Amino acid sequence: MTLRRDVCRAAVIATFFVCGIGCSSSGDPETAASDRAKASEEWNLQLEWQGETVELPLSRMDVYLSEDEEEHPEVYEIWGDDAVLVGEFPMDVHVGYEEDLERLVGQSIPIHSGGGYPGEPKSSFVLLDGQPVPVESGAIRFDKVTGKWMGAEGDRTLWGDVDLRVSHASGPRKVTGTIAVHVVAWG
C-alpha cells in the first residue's frame, strides 16, 4: 500500500512539474513550438518616454495561485532583463487552477513597488535612459487574451495598457504604454 501511494504521489509531482514547464493543450508539439516562437516576438513592454517609444522585452508573467481564494490574493511577477513589475490581483479576481486568463480582462491590476512570489520578493523597475528606474506604483488593464498553448512553453498572451509612476532622477514621473506578456500559472 505504501509503495502504491508513493508511486501515485511521484506521478502527481512529475505531472505537475512537467505541466509547469511545458504542458499544453492536446495537439502537435511542433505547432505549439511554432506558435510560441511567433507569439514571443510580441512579448514586450512599450513605454512612452521623453517623446520616444522604449521597448523592453518580457520573458513571462508568473501567476502564483492561492489555495484559499477567500483569504489570499494571487500574486504575479512580470519579468524580463530590462523590466520587473510585481503585485497582486484584487481579492475578487483569481485565474485559478483552470488558468482562466479571461478573468483578468477589463480589470485594473495594481502594480506595487515590491512583492511577487513571497519566497523571493522582487522590486519593480523599468530600464529608462540605460538605467534601472524604480516603479513606485501603477496599474495594468488587460483587454484581450491570445494563444492556445498553456504552460511555460506555450503561447498564451495577455495584451493591454500600463500606467506607471516611476522614481526618476529628475523626480517622480508618470509613464504610460502597452504590454503583451506570456502568462504561466503556478499552483
- The domain locations on the chain are 2-186
What is the C-alpha to C-alpha distance for residues 43 and 39, in angstroms, rounded to an integer? 7
pLDDT digits (tens, 9 = 90+) for 83-136: 999 999 999 999 999 999 999 999 999 999 999 998 999 999 999 999 999 999
The band of 27, judged by pLDDT with boundaries at 50, 70 and 90, is low
What is the C-alpha to C-alpha distance for residues 65 and 92, in angstroms, rounded to an integer? 13
Note the pTM of the prediction, 2 decimals: 0.83
Tell me, letter by letter, the H, E, C secondary structure of the chain. CHHHHHHHHHHHHHHHHHHHCCCCCCCCHHHHHHHHHHHHCCCEEEEEECCEEEEEECCEEEEECCCCCCCCCCEEEEEECCEEEEEECCCCCCCCCCCCHHHHECCEEEEECEECCCCCCEECEEEECCEEEEEEEEEEEEEEEECCCCCCCCCCEEEEEEEEEEEECCEEEEEEEEEEEEEEEEC
pLDDT digits (tens, 9 = 90+) for 34-82: 988 898 889 999 999 999 999 999 999 999 999 888 899 999 999 999 9
Q: How many CA atoms are closer than 13 Å to the CA of 67, on its beta-carbon side?
A: 0
